[in-house]
Amino acid sequence: MSIQSRLDKLGITLPEAAAPVASYVPVAVSRNVAYISGQLPFIDGELVVGRLGENVSLSEGIDAARACGLMILAQLQNARVSLDRVERVVKLGAFVNSTPDFTDQPKVANGASELMFDIFGEAGRHARAAVGVPALPLGVAVEIDAVIALTD
């Protein structure tokens, strides 16, 4: 089954790839590895802003992380990398804008992790970091980057 067929079956439509907010490229491919720059959470075309533990709930944070995961895939497609070439999602790095006492960063990151499992099956299982940070670009709640192995 193609990845597009799986997306259709899951009722997932990828967003339009967002333009970079600074001086970098969204995707860099070296040999058979795609490095995807940190992606921000757009839901219904709007950025999810705020801090976990302050004015963003855990469920909103999980949804924001999922939105980052969708943007990672949208950036791959925008870079003309077929999602059918994904051999394995190697690693996700999740940055959660959170208060010092918020400790559920791993639960927030699950929003993106579970998306990758749903879409790619076993190839979506990955290593991961989930860290709390005091601020993120544009005041977003979550930012996630990725390393993805590709087939030839």
- In DSSP notation, 14-34 reads PPPPPPPSSSS-SEEEETTEE
Band of residue 1 on the pLDDT scale cut at 50, 70, 90: confident
HSE-CB of 147 using CA atoms within 13 angstroms: 10
Does the model's pTM come out above 0.85? yes
- pLDDT tens for each residue of 7-51: 999 999 999 999 998 999 999 999 999 999 999 999 999 999 999
Distance set, CA 31 to CA 35, 75, 127 (Å) = 11, 18, 20
Predicted local confidence at residue 58, as pLDDT:
98
Predicted local confidence at residue 5, as pLDDT:
96
CATH 3.30.1330.40, domain 33-150, yes or no? yes
- pLDDT tens for each residue of 40-89: 999 999 999 999 999 999 999 999 999 999 999 999 999 999 999 999 99
Q: Is 112 in contact with 61 (CB distance < 8 Å)?
A: no
SS3 of the chain: helix, strand, coil, percent, to 5: 35, 30, 30
Region 103-118 average pLDDT = 98
